[in-house]
Amino acid sequence: MRVFISYRRGDAVALAGRLYDRLASHIGVDSVFMDQESIPVGQDFREAISSAITQSDVLLVLIGPKWAELFGRSSTSPDLVVDEITTALKHDIPVIPVLLGDTSMPQPSALPPPIRELAMRQALKLEPGERFGSDFERLLQALPATEGLKTSLIQRIHKWFRR
């Protein structure tokens, strides 16, 4: 199981880091990709991101309150989030929208054309507060994994919660 975390730094960096840490502790550091944690210094980040997406089993798109507002903020540089989602869709990698806190799913018209279909995908909620643990468990159960891995993950979750 390889998970790619897509997020906007201006919108969800703290929760992305928390999710990365929790996923890494459950499925292993080598099984979770997050740009700040997974790209070695000096490596071309565009190549690293593209390669990581095509090797992933799922792409989690963290959507916070400012996520859609940030599209097109610069007409001279590419929008890496759009590129990440487009690459995953092009390679038939499951894309799961993860709505942070009280964020609602953006309307298709609020999204750039290459990723408008994202608005039609069933999303998960991830609350930053006391519900984080139960929301995280639900997210783990939604990951496209083999039954053996799911059983192992669920056992680890229950063990972690009993601490």
In tens, the pLDDT along 13-51 reads 999 999 999 999 999 999 999 987 777 778 878 888 899
pLDDT at 153: 54
Model confidence band, residue 158 (pLDDT cutoffs 50, 70, 90)? low
pLDDT at 148: 42
- CATH code assigned at 127: 3.40.50.10140
pLDDT at 147: 38
Model confidence band, residue 144 (pLDDT cutoffs 50, 70, 90)? confident
Is 83 within 8 Å of 74 (Cβ atoms)? no
Q: Which domain holds residue 67?
A: 3-161
99-137 core/surface letters (b: 16 or more CB in 10 A; e: else) = bbeebebbeeeebeeebeebbeeebeebbeeeeeeebbb
In tens, the pLDDT along 68-109 reads 887 766 555 678 899 999 999 999 999 999 999 999 999 999
pLDDT at 146 over 50: no
pLDDT at 150 over 50: no
Strands 124-126 and 95-100: parallel
Amino acid at 136: F
In tens, the pLDDT along 49-78 reads 899 999 999 999 999 998 988 776 655 567
pLDDT at 64: 94
Query: How confident is the model over 147-157, as a mean pLDDT?
Result: 50
pLDDT at 161: 58
Query: How confident is the model over 138-158, as a mean pLDDT?
Result: 63
Q: How many domains does the chain have?
A: 1
pLDDT at 156: 55
The Cα 62–Cα 10 span in angstroms is 12
